[in-house]
Amino acid sequence: MVELFHQLASGLALGGVYAITALALVMIFQATQLVNFAQGEMAMFSTYIAWWLMQNGWDYWQAFGVTVVFSFVGGVVIERVVVRPFAQAPVLASVIVFIGLSFIFNALAGFFFGYSVQSFDTPFDGRPWFGNKFMSAHESGSVVVSLVVLALVFAFFRFTPLGLAMRAAAQNPASARLVGVRVGWMLALGWGLAAAIGAVAGMMAAPIVYLDPNMMGGILLYAFAGAVLGGIDNPWGAVFGGFTVGIAENLLGAYVVGEEVKLSVALIIIIGVLVAKPSGLFGRRIVARV
């Protein structure tokens, strides 16, 4: 029984990482109808920045803050420079560009920081919280950080004028432009936010999966599965899907399919959902006029 709660707890911790990565994916999807295949590698690169700062004697939370800001600016620049020129291109071209971006970030990380696996500090070390037996301090901390990120994102979109403008730009670009919203910049801000959220996800994942240039491959796949499960156009669905996939992955890995083939859980979820209910649990059905 203790073992089961253990698995649930670590599923919850990684589920938080999947949930916020899925949220970052959904944010870009809502605005552009595209899935950013480079999301994982961008987050990995951000995590390396934080690692490098800490190697140079920075305090954890300072490095954390600087990395989030750096990632935000990086995301905006990428949208402006790399993604924008392909706004009118077919889906195929955009996906190829995203894959190209992921190659570049993977190579940059390998070139500057090397390919050896690094351990990554966590600010939540020490004893488990509240004397519980199931969850390490980092796992508890990372669940809390995930929830804080979700709350901040929700508050931003719900209660600030800028958040409202971004929602307007995503839902109805033409009308938003007519009332004076600068739609192009809203897209760039969306990329910045997604990159910043991804950086947080990377920094929460790195103490668990360890830091190397390929660390986000599996995480991105689970985040895809979470987003597809919850409905790729629904932020709440993506968050729910992320946590569900985290728990399912851990339980199935421990008790059903075995640790070695855990990634196929994501494959089965993605194909199963797309076959049975392509819009996901909470997504809107897409109806196209012929």
Residues in the chain: 290
The least CB distance from residue 178 to other proteins, in Å, is 28
Asked if 55 interacts with other proteins (CB under 8 A), we say: no
Q: Of 37, 48, 51, 240, which one interacts with other proteins (CB under 8 A)?
A: 37
> Residues 6 or more apart from 19 whose CB is under 8 A from it?
146, 150, 226, 238, 239, 240, 241, 242, 243, 246
> Residues 6 or more apart from 168 whose CB is under 8 A from it?
175, 176, 179, 181, 186
Asked if 287 interacts with other proteins (CB under 8 A), we say: no
Q: Of 4, 87, 155, 274, which one interacts with other proteins (CB under 8 A)?
A: 274
Asked if 110 interacts with other proteins (CB under 8 A), we say: yes
Asked if 85 interacts with other proteins (CB under 8 A), we say: yes
Scan for tokens 């910045």, then name that residue.
192
Asked if 47 interacts with other proteins (CB under 8 A), we say: no
Dihedral angle, C-alpha 46, 52, 56, 60, nearest 10 °: 50
With CB under 8 A as the contact rule, which of the stretches 11-19, 100-108, 172-180, 191-199 interacts with other proteins? 100-108
Asked if 210 interacts with other proteins (CB under 8 A), we say: no
Asked if 86 interacts with other proteins (CB under 8 A), we say: yes
154-160: which pairs have CB atoms within 8 A and are 24 or more residues apart?
156/193
> Residues 6 or more apart from 222 whose CB is under 8 A from it?
14, 18, 242, 245, 246, 249, 266
With CB under 8 A as the contact rule, which of the stretches 8-16, 122-130, 200-208, 217-225 interacts with other proteins? 217-225
Q: Contact 23/235 with Cβ under 8 angstroms?
A: yes
Q: Of 217, 236, 281, 282, which one interacts with other proteins (CB under 8 A)?
A: 217
Asked if 263 interacts with other proteins (CB under 8 A), we say: yes
Asked if 126 interacts with other proteins (CB under 8 A), we say: no
The least CB distance from residue 280 to other proteins, in Å, is 11
8 vs 200: CA distance, rounded Å: 22
Q: Of 115, 117, 155, 158, which one interacts with other proteins (CB under 8 A)?
A: 115
Whole-Å CA distances, 263 to 87, 225, 253, 270 = 32, 10, 9, 11
Kindly list the residues in this chain that would bind other proteins in the complex (CB under 8 A). 33-35, 37, 82, 85-86, 89, 91-93, 95-97, 99-112, 114-115, 217-218, 221, 224-225, 228, 258, 260-264, 266-267, 270-271, 274-275, 278, 290
